[in-house]
Amino acid sequence: MPTKAMRLVSIAALAAISINAANAQEAQRCPQQLYATGFGGEPLGGSKQALIDAVQRGEPIRIGWDIDFDDDGAADLSHWTDASYLSIWEGEVFTQVDAIHRQRPVRGEGDMRLLDDYSEWRASLGTTGEIQGAFSNGDKSPAMSVRIFWCAATPPEPVWTAVFKNGLNGETLEGSKEDLFAAIRAGQPIQIGWGLERQIDGERRSVEHVASPVFLGIADGEHVTAQLSEHIAPRSYWDVDQALFDDAAVMWRGLMTTGGTFDAVWANRATGEVVRRSPQRAVMTWYVRSPAPVSTPSLAVPNGVISDQRRAAERFPQ
């Protein structure tokens, strides 16, 4: 049978595992984390060198720290502020916290109050995992170990991200069509990519296209339709030696859908004649400029578009 000492060791081990799990979960709390340390100063995430590099580049940094009063591995009090003064010393980063009016948390009431007698609190904390404070009236503020998060304060540049890929028959190959719907409803920029590879005269040839649609629609909450801007048709999409404009009057335009359909037309703008039409099916990748919103309402509402009979009568009198 396990002895009392063994049971105590097991309890301590389980507690340590629980605290480590909590630390790991909390480590990703700031979305643009550069570096994080636990209550014991141990690294939780990110890279100290990444933080140092960001400081040396002059990037704005935001810091957060948790205080664990009862040593249970969970934050009892958390603070966030911008790092206004940063120092790098012997491979560690330190920052001073701007002076604030001294405040006091009220247990059991969810309240934070300013002290009646004015005094300021300042502090310095570092990647060592310790914070040291001082009060302007001479009161002591003992150093303590805290869990610290160092975050980039500016949002990253948005990037194009593939959110959905449809097959030739509209089947989902990758991603989520709902994410694409959400991005369109939120008014986010969209791009479409497609291409093909073939053997021509025993030689592998390939072509890839990416285009921004000029008109988007969501049909019955099921498929996206997208018109591409017209352009002068080239002599060849394959042969770079024939990458020349064809008849300057002939313009190409495409209509694509997440159902896999792709209607391409060549129209002579001088005569109005449709010179060529090429119904196709295509594998399409749909890109969003930034992450799609979690939830967006449908733009389709009952009677959201109706005929304006008065204006129609004024413009087209009988």
The pLDDT tens digits for 149-166 are 999 987 767 889 999 999
Please report which confidence band the pLDDT of residue 311 belongs to, taking 50, 70 and 90 as the band edges.
confident
Specify whether the CB–CB gap between 264 and 257 falls below 8 A: no
Dump pLDDT digits (tens) for 35-45. 999 999 999 99
Q: What is the pLDDT of residues 77-90, one digit of tens each?
A: 999 999 989 999 99
pLDDT over threshold 70, residue 136 = yes
What would the pLDDT profile of 204-221 be if each residue is shown by its tens digit? 888 899 999 999 999 999
% of the chain with per-residue pLDDT over 90: 61
Whole-number pLDDT of residue 19: 41
Tell me how far apart the 2 most distant CA atoms of the chain are, in Å: 101
Residue 15 has pLDDT above 50, yes or no: no
Element (H, E) at 79: strand 77-82
Average pLDDT over residues 102-122: 89
Six token digits for residue 102: 């001294």
What are the tens digits of pLDDT across the range 177-199? Answer: 999 999 999 999 999 999 988 88
Decide which of 84 and 63 is more confident: 63
Dig out the tokens for 302 from the structure: 């009952």
Residue 108 has pLDDT above 70, yes or no: yes
Q: What is the pLDDT of residues 211-266, one digit of tens each?
A: 999 999 999 999 999 999 999 988 887 788 888 888 899 999 999 999 999 999 99
Reading the block at residue 177, the tokens are 């069509």
CA distances in angstroms from 167 to 181, 217, 296, listed in the order given: 17, 19, 25
| Whether the Cβ atoms of residue 259 and residue 280 lie closer than 8 Å to each other | no
Q: Which long-range contacts (CB under 8 A, 24 or more apart) does 25-34 make?
A: 26/66, 26/75, 26/147, 27/149, 29/64, 29/149, 30/62, 30/64, 30/149, 30/151, 31/151, 32/151, 32/152, 32/153, 32/155, 32/156, 33/149, 33/150, 33/151, 34/61, 34/150, 34/151, 34/152
Alpha carbon distance 190, 179 (integer Å): 12
Please tell me the predicted confidence (pLDDT) of residue 307.
74
| Chain center to CA of 178 | 16
Closest by CA to 286, choosing from 191, 209, 215, is 191
Among 19-28, 92-101, 298-307, top mean pLDDT goes to 92-101
pLDDT tens, residue by residue, 255-305: 999 999 999 999 999 999 999 999 999 999 999 987 666 666 777 778 767
Give, rounded to a whole angstrom, the gap between the first and last alpha carbons of the chain: 101
Mean pLDDT within 95-122: 90
Distances (CA, A) of 75 to 16, 26, 69, 111, 113: 15, 10, 8, 16, 19
Give the pLDDT of residue 213: 97
Q: Is 266 helix (H, G, I), strand (E, B) or coil?
A: strand
